[in-house]
């Protein structure tokens, strides 16, 4: 068994967050999970009384984040691992999706995660130790019609995490962006925000994608328990990766994206280099 650590996991009520809490507790770690209601808090703490702790937090309430983190550090001890997991998907064609929906998407998936990072960093820097996992998505590498705001938020978090990793490596802090493929969580079910359809021009490109996502919800390839064990393996590693894909679907699609990108770079290489000098 690995050395017992204290994990702070946002969004621990369902899906990856809850599965990671369960697996981390089974591996002997302690877990603080953030949730958004008292019922979810009681369910989380019941997993392992005395080793599982819940804190009420909506990550868009950025003023509340540092006080929660500081209180956890003061009462439960050093946060060894922050897992920025809280997030959701906005689904909707860009032209049909109000800007306010994009702000909300980024408030949760990007600003919330960065506010959590800013709150734990002073503690981790003081100890010259710590690991930050950001749950991004294969949608932080590959794209499809109808999830522009979601992909935008996950591309943003991938980029932010990669920069952060370079800033804090010398301070003993590791940063891993975990990019899952499709997994059986509540993501495409109760958690997804779906913009109403208004423009018939997009029916052909988007309706089949929306329908398929609804049809496969709950039947996706990926198992959140296995994802959680993979995350724990990364947490246990002395040299964790900056990017960790989860799932064969993610691996295939991201590899295809990289090949297509290489091909396009090559095809346009002469024009690209024509601007030098
Ligand atoms: P999920 O079962 O819907 O879980 C989402 C969690 O995030 C819930 O605990 C939810 O809390 C919490 N949350 C949502 N908005 C929040 C907010 N404003 N403040 C605090 N907590 C909030 O879905 P999931 O798949 O496990 O999602 C976890 C992460 O994985 C997300 O970042 C998602 O984008 C990412 N991801 C999922 C997949 C997939 O296929 N499932 C693939 C790639 C990436 P409530 O219970 O209170 O709503």
Do the beta carbons of residue 176 and residue 82 sit within 8 Å?
A: no
pLDDT of residue 3: 87
* pLDDT tens string 113-157: 999 999 999 999 999 999 999 999 999 999 999 999 999 999 999
Q: What is this structure's pTM?
A: 0.98
Q: Specify the residue with its C-alpha closest to ligand 1, atom 44.
A: 137
Residue 1 in this model has a pLDDT that exceeds 80: no
pLDDT of residue 223: 98
Say what percent of the chain tops pLDDT 70.
99
Confirm or reject: Cβ of 141 under 6 Å from ligand 1: no
Confirm or reject: Cβ of 134 under 6 Å from ligand 1: no
Distance 126 CA to ligand 1 centre (A): 30
Q: Specify the residue with its C-alpha closest to ligand 1, atom 33.
A: 87
Q: Specify the residue with its C-alpha closest to ligand 1, atom 31.
A: 87
CA dihedral 200, 202, 208, 209 (to 10 degrees): -140
Distance 19 CA to ligand 1 centre (A): 12
Q: What is the mean pLDDT of residues 25-37?
A: 98
Mutate-to-test residue for ligand 1 from 9, 16, 152, highest number of ligand atoms within 8 A of CB: 16
22's CB contacts (< 8 A; 6+ apart) are 47, 225, 228
Confirm or reject: Cβ of 247 under 6 Å from ligand 1: no
Distance 85 CA to ligand 1 centre (A): 6
Do the beta carbons of residue 59 and residue 34 sit within 8 Å?
A: yes
Confirm or reject: Cβ of 217 under 6 Å from ligand 1: no
Q: What is the mean pLDDT of residues 177-200?
A: 98
Confirm or reject: Cβ of 137 under 6 Å from ligand 1: yes
What's the rounded Cα separation, in Å, for the pair 205 and 148? 14
Confirm or reject: Cβ of 68 under 6 Å from ligand 1: no
Q: Specify the residue with its C-alpha closest to ligand 1, atom 10.
A: 11
Is 149 tagged catalytic? Answer: no
Q: What is the mean pLDDT of residues 42-63?
A: 98
pLDDT of residue 270: 98
What is the chain's length? 277
Confirm or reject: Cβ of 185 under 6 Å from ligand 1: yes
78's CB contacts (< 8 A; 6+ apart) are 6, 123, 127
Q: What angle do CA 50, 9, 246 make, to 5 degrees?
A: 125
Distance 178 CA to ligand 1 centre (A): 13
Do the beta carbons of residue 90 and residue 105 sit within 8 Å?
A: yes
Say what percent of the chain tops pLDDT 90.
99
* pLDDT tens string 55-77: 999 999 999 999 999 999 999 99
Q: What is the mean pLDDT of residues 205-223?
A: 97
Homologous superfamily (CATH) for 6-273: NAD(P)-binding Rossmann-like Domain (3.40.50.720)
Grade residue 2 by pLDDT with cuts at 50, 70 and 90.
low
């Amino acid at each position: 068994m690995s050395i017992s650590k204290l994990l702070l996991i946002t969004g621990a009520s369902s899906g990856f967050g809850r599965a990671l809490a369960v697996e981390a507790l089974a591996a002997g770690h302690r877990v603080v999970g953030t949730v958004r209601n008292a019922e979810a808090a009681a369910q989380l703490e019941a997993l392992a009384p005395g080793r599982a702790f819940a804190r009420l937090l909506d990550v868009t309430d950025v003023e509340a984040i540092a006080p929660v983190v500081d209180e956890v550090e003061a009462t439960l001890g050093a946060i060894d691992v922050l897992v920025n997991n809280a997030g959701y998907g906005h689904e909707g064609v860009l032209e049909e999706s109000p800007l306010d929906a994009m702000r909300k998407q980024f408030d949760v998936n990007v600003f919330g995660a960065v506010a959590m990072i800013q709150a734990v960093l002073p503690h981790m820097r003081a100890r010259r130790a710590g690991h930050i996992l950001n749950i991004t998505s294969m949608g932080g590498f590959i794209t499809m019609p109808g999830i522009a705001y979601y992909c935008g938020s996950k591309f943003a978090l991938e980029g932010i995490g990669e920069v952060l990793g370079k800033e804090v490596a010398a301070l003993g802090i590791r940063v891993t962006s975990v990019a899952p493929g499709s997994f059986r969580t509540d993501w495409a079910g109760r958690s997804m925000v779906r913009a109403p359809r208004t423009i018939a021009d997009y029916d052909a490109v988007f309706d089949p994608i929306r329908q398929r996502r609804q049809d496969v919800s709950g039947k996706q390839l990926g198992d959140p328990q296995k994802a959680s064990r993979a995350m724990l393996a990364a947490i246990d590693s002395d040299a964790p990766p900056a990017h960790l894909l989860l799932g064969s679907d993610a691996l295939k699609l991201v590899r295809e994206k990289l090949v297509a990108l290489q091909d396009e770079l090559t095809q346009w290489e002469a024009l690209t280099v024509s601007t030098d000098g």
